[in-house]
Amino acid sequence: MTESADLTFSVTSPKSTDLNQQVLVLGVYSSAEGPLLAHPPLDGETAQGLEATLEDLGMTGSADQLVRLPGFDEVGTDIVALIGLGKEPENEAEKLKALRYGAGSAVRQLAGFTSLALSLEAETVEQVAAVAEGAALGAFSDPQLRAKSLESVKAAVEEVAILTEIDADAAADALSRALILGEAVDSTRRLVNTPPNLLYPASFAERAQQRVADLQNVEVSVLDEKALAEEGFGGISGVGQGSSRPPRLVVVRYAPEKAQTSIALVGKGITFDTGGISLKPGSSMFTMKSDMAGAATVLNAVAAAAELELPVSVTAYLCLAENMPSGTAIRPEDVLTMRDGRTVEVLNTDAEGRLVMADGIAYASEKEPDVILDVATLTGAQMVALGTRTAGVMGNSEIRERIVSSAEAAGEDFWPMPLPEHLREGLKSPVADLKNIGNGRWGGMLTAGIFLEEFVGEKDGAKIPWAHLDIAGPSFNEGKPFGFTPKEATGMSLATLLTFIESYA
């Protein structure tokens, strides 16, 4: 169950002269010789005439550039839109990324129209899939809580026809998957965008249950604050004890009968982060409703896997707490006992994400999955190192590279990062097994990853393969929209997780 608007896909021959859509979107590449049309569905003379006017129209073909023109008889639509696809790709991977980005950018920028026809050089099933995925991610409109200004929000596109010679039967699976991915990203974005007075651990748990209520082979269990305390979840309990709205651990398990592989996904779900007693500056709290993006992502990754009926068992652990300062909040120098029995000295209560995640990873390890991934808006250091559009991935080398490969296939940007052994020294505490921050400010993203690795358990006498995804920057867009990415919540990493899970199918 989601709040997504309905979106439908179809495929139409480029030779069709009977388009029923409002707008025909044509792709334009940039090149040293000038802008180039990407195989438009036009006769040679019309295409040459249009291409000759591109520079006069100010069209360069750069990514995200969109120019609208009146329609003409040959295309059968009232409007023609030209969308920039960037530099002409040199290989298939670059082409798929350009098609996904361009389709998403066009659909996003043409919100307010009901129906579009996309002519973006989709000549193979993989290219049709890329166009459909971009369109599904771009077809997003969230009025949030507007009342009197609701009319200022343009409705998302509802119908997309992809011009291709691929027939409907051959494209069916790709189009269905794109819709499921789009719905999962849409749900993630809406959760992340929800204000913290409305989304807190208990209400998040309820929404998680609603999200998967109609799915087959999916079960949900919720541990409340009493169960968390009784069962030794010192990290989640400790972070949540300063709030009047107590913490939760939500376990969402998809378990198909013929699954041969089990994957655990642990998501950080800090529904609002003030920093606790180690209080953040006021301006640093402005995006902290997004500190639960990891939990929203893993929830929807499980939902998408179930909807696709993938033969892989996938369990999401949503580690939910609100990090507030109060007379009951944890203090610097408090020591917490974690789920695995280890003790952690808390020196900075604003390094709370790793505390709830450590409990989640330890609990997931008890079930002995084949792989553990944790997804978190964990550190500001991630943005210092990689910026706001590239996520970091650390951990077991095989799983880390598999994430990078999955991200490339999904059209997302992940960069492999190390876990240097010398940084472990900084986590030693004189009073506990570990402390929750390292020595000094350098390498903060890596130190956080090393802390989490300590809580990864074993299976058959060996460490469970694990990777840590730090999505702090890419999960929330404070700047202008771009490609298929809106302002605010992005849903970044969902496509990578789904592709990763599919690689085990």
162-200: pLDDT as tens digits = 999 999 999 999 999 999 999 999 999 999 999 999 999
Per residue in 328-357, pLDDT (tens digit) is 999 999 999 999 999 999 999 999 999 999
Looking at residue 17, its pLDDT comes to 67
Could you confirm whether domain 190-502 is CATH 3.40.630.10?
Answer: yes
Active site residues: 280, 354
Residue 2, pLDDT > 70, answer no
Mean pLDDT of the chain, nearest integer: 95
DSSP string covering 55-91, please?
Answer: TTTT----TT-EEEEE--TTT-SSEEEEEEEEEPPSS
- What is the spatial distance between Cα 446 and Cα 453, in angstroms, rounded to a whole number? 11
Lowest mean pLDDT among 42-46, 117-121, 271-275: 42-46
DSSP state of 132: H
Residue 1, pLDDT > 60, answer no
- What is the spatial distance between Cα 369 and Cα 505, in angstroms, rounded to a whole number? 15
The mean per-residue pLDDT over the stretch 256-270 comes to 97
- What is the spatial distance between Cα 265 and Cα 281, in angstroms, rounded to a whole number? 31
Q: For residue 227, give the H/E element and its range.
A: helix 225-230
The mean per-residue pLDDT over the stretch 397-420 comes to 98
Tokens 């999401």 sit on residue = 316
Q: Is 433 annotated as a binding residue?
A: no
Q: Which CATH code fits 8-166?
A: 3.40.220.10
- What is the spatial distance between Cα 431 and Cα 423, in angstroms, rounded to a whole number? 19
Per residue in 63-113, pLDDT (tens digit) is 999 999 998 777 778 899 999 999 999 999 999 999 999 999 999 999 999
The mean per-residue pLDDT over the stretch 488-505 comes to 98
Q: Is 374 annotated as a binding residue?
A: no
Give the per-residue SS3 of 359-406: HHHHHHHHCCCCEEEEEECCCHHHHHHHCCCCEEEEECHHHHHHHHHH
- Cα dist from 90 to 61, 96, 98, 267, whole Å: 16, 11, 11, 37
| Residue percentage of the chain with pLDDT more than 90 | 90
Looking at residue 19, its pLDDT comes to 85
The mean per-residue pLDDT over the stretch 377-381 comes to 97
Per residue in 427-448, pLDDT (tens digit) is 999 999 999 999 988 999 999 9
Helix (H, G, I), strand (E, B) or coil at 94: helix
Do 320 and 295 contact (CB within 8 A), yes or no? yes
What is the end-to-end Cα distance of the chain in Å, rounded? 25
- What is the spatial distance between Cα 393 and Cα 416, in angstroms, rounded to a whole number? 5
**Any bridge partners for residue 337, and if so which?**
343
Q: Is 370 annotated as a binding residue?
A: no
φ/ψ (deg, to 5) at 463 = -60, 135
φ/ψ (deg, to 5) at 102 = -65, -45
- What is the spatial distance between Cα 322 and Cα 274, in angstroms, rounded to a whole number? 8
DSSP state of 485: B
Per residue in 206-255, pLDDT (tens digit) is 999 999 999 999 999 999 999 999 999 999 999 999 999 999 999 999 99
Confidence of residue 461 (pLDDT cuts 50, 70, 90): very high
- Cα dist from 218 to 252, 274, 303, 313, whole Å: 7, 34, 8, 10
Looking at residue 3, its pLDDT comes to 52
Per residue in 115-163, pLDDT (tens digit) is 999 999 899 999 999 999 999 999 999 888 887 787 778 999 999 999 9
Q: Where are the domains of the chain?
A: 8-166, 190-502
